[in-house]
């Protein structure tokens, strides 16, 4: 009888270890899926920032006299080129939800910012890699120099 009882105890221990291993694998799978989803969201947000910056750059270049846009509606009239997975005019709601643009600034205030202190366009949440506004700043400064 003791031998049978010991056999069941061993089977129970093996089953418990198996359940722990399977549970750990399932939990790791869920964690991986969540991390991949977060990275995809951050990548989409970064694409939105780039698309918004392209639209603002085009707006600044096309305005006469050059000026910083005052609203999303003004940017809706520009048609930036395709930027990654986001297209400017077609994905306006997505861009507006993922990007913060300070429409209260003047072109001169934006031109005075450095890439490190740039706040005129920001992601509305985290991004997996930094965005460099240097090209937009160059366009702003160039527009001011020509005006």
* Domain limits, the chain: 44-146
- Confidence band of 140 (pLDDT split at 50, 70, 90): very high
* Separation in Å, CA 22 to CA 15, 17, 28, 35: 10, 9, 10, 20
Query: 85: which DSSP letter?
Result: T
Does pTM top 0.85 for this prediction? Answer: no
**Joined tokens for residue 64:** 């006469």
Q: Which residue has the higher pLDDT, 100 or 33?
A: 100
pLDDT in tens, 52-100: 998 899 899 988 899 999 999 888 776 655 444 455 556 788 889 999 9
| CA dihedral sign, ordered 62, 64, 70, 73 | negative
Q: Which of 59, 107, 96, 101 is nearest to 79 (CA)?
A: 59
Tokens coding 96: 């507006």
CB of 100 closer than 8 Å to CB of 122 = yes
């Amino acid at each position: 009888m003791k031998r049978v009882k010991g056999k069941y105890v061993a089977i129970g221990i093996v089953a418990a270890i198996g359940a722990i291993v399977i549970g750990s694998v399932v939990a790791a799978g869920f964690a991986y899926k969540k991390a991949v989803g977060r990275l995809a969201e951050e990548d989409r947000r970064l694409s939105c920032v780039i698309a918004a910056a392209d639209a603002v750059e085009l707006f600044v270049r096309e305005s006469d006299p050059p000026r910083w846009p005052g609203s999303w509606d003004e940017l809706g009239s520009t048609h930036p080129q395709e930027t990654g997975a986001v297209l400017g005019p077609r994905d306006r709601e997505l861009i507006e939800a993922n990007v913060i643009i300070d429409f209260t600034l003047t072109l001169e205030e934006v031109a005075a910012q450095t890439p490190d202190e740039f706040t005129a366009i920001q992601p509305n949440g985290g991004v997996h890699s930094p965005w460099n506004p240097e090209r937009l700043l160059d366009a702003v400064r160039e527009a001011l120099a020509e005006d």
